[in-house]
Every structure is written in C-alpha cells, then in structure tokens.
C-alpha cells in the first residue's frame, strides 16, 4: 500500500529563485490538498483539487504561488521569486472522503 | 470562522503514565469532523482518529481514547500507559464543510499543536 509521496524532501534556494514541488497522492484518492506549516504552528490550508480541477484557494496563496494537477493524478506546487518568508514545510494530503492522509512534506529554506 | 485551540504547548510525562491532550474548537457549522494527528520528529503527519459532529459516543482504541463533548466544544485525546515512542507533536484539527459549485471540499483547520515528551 503506497502512501502519499512528495519530492524533494528538502530544498534550499536563494531568494528570487523559482522552486517546484511534486506530490503523488494515494492512487484511488480524487482529492488532493496543499498545506504550509511554519515552525511551531499547525499546517495552514493553501489549495484543494478534486480530480484535475482546482476548486479552492486560500488567501495565503499569493500570485507567486501556482498549483496544478494536470491529469488528476500527481500535483505540482510552484513558487516564483521566492522570499525568505516562504521558508516552511509544504505538506500534501489526499483523500477519498473525509480523512486526509499526509505525505512526508517538502522542507523549503530560502536564503 | 473556524478555530481550534490547543492550550497545552508542551507536556512531559514519565513512561506508563496516562496523558490527556486538550482541544477546544469553534465552528458555526452543524456538520463537521474532528481529528487528531501525530507528527513525530520525522515530520510526517499521521492520522490517529476521526469523529463526526453527530456522534458523541466516546470510544477506546487500544491505548487511545477520546472524549467528544459538543456542549463544551471539546475533543480531548487520552493516551493510556504512555510509551517513549509516543513522543511527538499532536494536532487537533477541524474539518468544515466548504461548498463549491462543482462539489465540496473539507479543508482542515489545525490547532497549534501540543509537544508531548514521554520520558523513560
């Protein structure tokens, strides 16, 4: 049984660079979520896909952030012109119904 | 607006002690779900339990039990006979119903977490 996977697990970048993260959900799950978690806080919702449709976006998702799920399977989250404030853990989750199952996260450090 | 409060920032217990983690929530929804997740040092959030708003029956699952009280908007989580491997950050989360034209989404609103340390 394969869980949610995320790649890369760690990313260090310089301010102003673009980064892209990938999430592969549990295969039969049609719902996919992105969250951001900063140190000492709980995860905060960023965006949600049902199949390939992006149905909801948080106000946290500025115009520098874009997410896609082109074929309703894996998803990518891109951050353009990274800022130091983007440093965080980016978590992906998937679900078939109410319970969301999380991946190991991508830890981003912007220098 | 939805809000989850975990007032206990850190708890330390000695192995084999019972420990209860508190969670208080706010929501205007009549239908919602409550969750507990565990985040060990490795960082991955692990699902523990789920409860829906129309079922206040409290249950025990192994060493885990939970006390859901709608009247006080609380969803407390107890670990019996704690073990060192239980050391982690525990998050309480609320799932509210978000109606989208093409379907529905249930975003999770998390508390700030409780760091549990179980000492040998």
Tell me what percent of the residues of chain A surpass a pLDDT of 70. Answer: 99
Q: What is the pLDDT of residue B104?
A: 57
Query: Least CB-CB distance to B107: which of A48, A89, A105?
Result: A48
Query: Could you count the other beta carbons within 10 Å of the beta carbon of residue A92?
Result: 28
Nearest to B90 by CA among B70, B72, B66: B66
Supply the pLDDT for residue B101: 45
Under a CB-based contact definition with an 8 Å cutoff, are residues B19 and B11 in contact?
yes
Is B37's Cβ below 8 Å from some Cβ in A?
Answer: yes
Are A56 and B44 inside 8 Å of each other by CB? Answer: no
Q: Which is more confidently placed, A106 or B30?
A: A106
Query: What is the C-alpha to C-alpha distance for residues A101 and B45, in angstroms, rounded to an integer?
Result: 8
């Amino acid at each position: 049984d394969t869980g949610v996977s995320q790649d890369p697990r760690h990313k260090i970048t310089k301010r102003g660079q673009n980064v892209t993260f990938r999430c592969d959900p549990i295969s039969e799950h049609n719902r996919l979520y992105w969250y951001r978690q900063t140190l000492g806080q709980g995860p905060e919702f960023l965006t949600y896909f049902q199949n390939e449709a992006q149905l909801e976006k948080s106000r946290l998702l500025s115009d520098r952030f874009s997410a896609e799920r082109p074929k309703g399977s894996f998803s990518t989250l891109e951050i353009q012109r990274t800022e130091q404030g983007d440093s965080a853990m980016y978590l992906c989750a998937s679900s078939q119904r109410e319970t969301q199952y999380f991946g190991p996260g991508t830890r981003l450090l912007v220098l | 607006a939805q809000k989850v409060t975990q007032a206990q920032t850190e708890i330390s217990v000695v192995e084999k002690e019972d420990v209860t983690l508190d969670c208080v929530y706010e929501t205007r929804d009549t239908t919602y779900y409550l969750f507990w997740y565990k985040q060990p040092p490795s960082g991955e959030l692990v699902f523990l339990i789920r409860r829906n708003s129309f079922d206040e029956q409290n249950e025990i699952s192994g060493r885990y039990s939970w006390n859901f009280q709608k009247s006080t908007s609380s969803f407390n989580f107890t670990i019996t006979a704690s073990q060192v491997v239980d050391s982690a950050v525990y998050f309480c989360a609320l799932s509210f119903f978000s109606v989208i034209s093409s379907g529905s989404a249930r975003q999770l609103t998390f508390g700030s977490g409780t760091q549990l340390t179980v000492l040998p």
